[in-house]
Copies of this chain bind each other. A is one copy, B any other.
């Protein structure tokens, strides 16, 4: 909804966030109701960028967290808002590009999109009345990020030597190759089971903060395993 985009922009700019990326917005873009709702925020931030799919939107990112209300059948770390803000800030200080991902208000995030993220964020609310709208979720996360400006230490570090964290685009190429080869190997028992199986496999890899070098290694692993096939 245009209104939600405007509310997001307003919430973001209050806490100094300005890189807004829209994935296939229902009401199109630009949108007058978004502009009305943003009370001038769009005049003080770069033009939001528009993408067809989430993959494209996060292609140049290294670490992404998605807010979600529901528990997922995916093995993926779940952060509190504060822990998420700490993690995102520490990674930004290490020159990683990070992203916060929010689903559409009514439908939330699709599982296939959640599977692309490094982790999830759940905002703890009253179990008897959980009714945060999209703008409010953005506001709370923007606030927590703003609270972190000034802190630089990671609770847990992952030294990766000379190898940089992989870009999402490289990781997605790897997933596509792996899944094609698994399809060829009749790994997916049925078309109905495939999406869930794909999500589970992607989750194993997205949560381990792979480096560029490691993804190249994984390509080598696939090549070696399929090596005896004709034509390879």
Contact = CB atoms under 8 A, between A and B. Distances in A.
Interface of A: 10-11, 13-16, 39-41, 44, 71-73, 75-80, 82-83, 119, 123-126, 128-132, 136, 139-140, 143, 146-147, 153, 155-161, 163, 178, 181-182, 185-187, 197, 200-201, 204-205, 207-211, 213-214, 217-218, 220-230
Nearest to A189: B220
A131 B41 CA distance: 9
A75 B163 CA distance: 9
Tallying the copies of this chain within the complex gives 2
Given A125-B14, A204-B210, A159 B75 contact: yes
Contact of A156 (B77, B136, B228): B77
Given A41-B129, A80-B153, A225-B225, 17 more contacts: A14-B136, A15-B125, A41-B131, A75-B158, A77-B157, A78-B157, A79-B156, A83-B155, A119-B156, A158-B207, A182-B221, A187-B220, A200-B213, A200-B214, A204-B210, A207-B209, A208-B208
A44 B13 contact: no
A103 B209 CA distance: 26
Given A44-B129, A217-B201, A224 B186 contact: yes
B14 A131 contact: yes
A79 B153 CA distance: 10
